[in-house]
């Protein structure tokens, strides 16, 4: 495919997983995106859970357009006990999954970040098989980045690079709420 950047021609993309209970999984993916854009690559981030907030990364993505795009498809915080709301989350996750597959096989992007997809699987909005299918559908040159805690062992097994963020201390433990520009 000639749609992708000259930088990636003839190269193999990776499957990268950022997981763990510590802060910084999406932030690490955004750092990778910034690096990729600096080398002329096209990056797409699809957010599986986030939705409804005015995240700082959305404003930054606008400034890095057309090489960086974020598509927020989630409905926000997931609670299984909220049956009606849970079904809305499940529909949104399935839509994000289909959109992801379309964009992965399109060859339009060099790097695709599936933000919080591991949470979507953990909360049973999508299956492990769904994620493995996405990974196996990618063209050789595409790098996929999967974020979110609770990455399934099958995903870790097929990944080329796995980083686990470990929480040691977090302001939230002291009742300090998320800070604009730092946490979102």
Token pair recorded at residue 107: 């060859």
pLDDT band at 178 (very low <50, low <70, confident <90, very high): confident
Domain ranges of the chain: 12-174
Give the predicted TM-score (pTM) of the model: 0.90
The H or E element spanning position 161 is strand 161-164
What is the pLDDT of the chain when averaged over all its residues?
90
The CATH architecture annotation of domain 12-174 reads: 3-Layer(aba) Sandwich (3.40)
- Rounded to whole angstroms, how far apart are CA atoms 4 and 105? 12
Residue 96 pLDDT exceeds 80 = yes
> How far are the Cα atoms of 52, 57, 76, 77, 89 from residue 85, in angstroms, in the given order?
14, 26, 10, 10, 6
CA–CA separation, 169 vs 116, rounded Å?
Answer: 21
41 pLDDT tier (thresholds 50, 70, 90): very high
Helix (H, G, I), strand (E, B) or coil at 20: coil
Q: Is 105 exposed, middle or buried (0-12, 13-18, 19+ CB in 10 A)?
A: middle
Nearest by Cα to 149 from 17, 26, 20: 20
Per-residue pLDDT at 115 exceeds 70: yes
């Amino acid at each position: 495919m000639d749609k992708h950047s000259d930088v990636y021609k003839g190269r193999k993309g990776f499957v990268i997983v950022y997981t763990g209970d510590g802060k910084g999984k999406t932030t690490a993916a955004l750092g990778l995106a910034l690096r990729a854009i600096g080398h002329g690559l096209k990056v797409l981030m699809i957010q599986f859970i986030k939705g409804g907030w005015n995240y700082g990364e959305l404003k930054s993505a606008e400034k890095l357009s057309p090489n960086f795009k974020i598509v927020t498809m989630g409905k926000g915080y997931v609670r299984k006990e909220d049956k009606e709301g849970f079904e809305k989350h499940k529909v949104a996750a399935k839509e994000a999954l289909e959109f992801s597959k379309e964009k992965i096989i399109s060859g339009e992007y060099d790097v695709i970040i599936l933000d919080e997809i591991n949470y979507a699987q953990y909360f049973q909005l999508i299956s492990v098989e769904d994620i493995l299918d996405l990974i196996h559908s990618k063209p050789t040159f595409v790098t996929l980045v999967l974020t979110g805690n609770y990455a399934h062992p099958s995903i870790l097994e097929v990944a080329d690079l796995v980083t686990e963020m470990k929480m040691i201390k977090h302001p939230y433990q002291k009742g300090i709420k998320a800070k604009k520009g730092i946490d979102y």
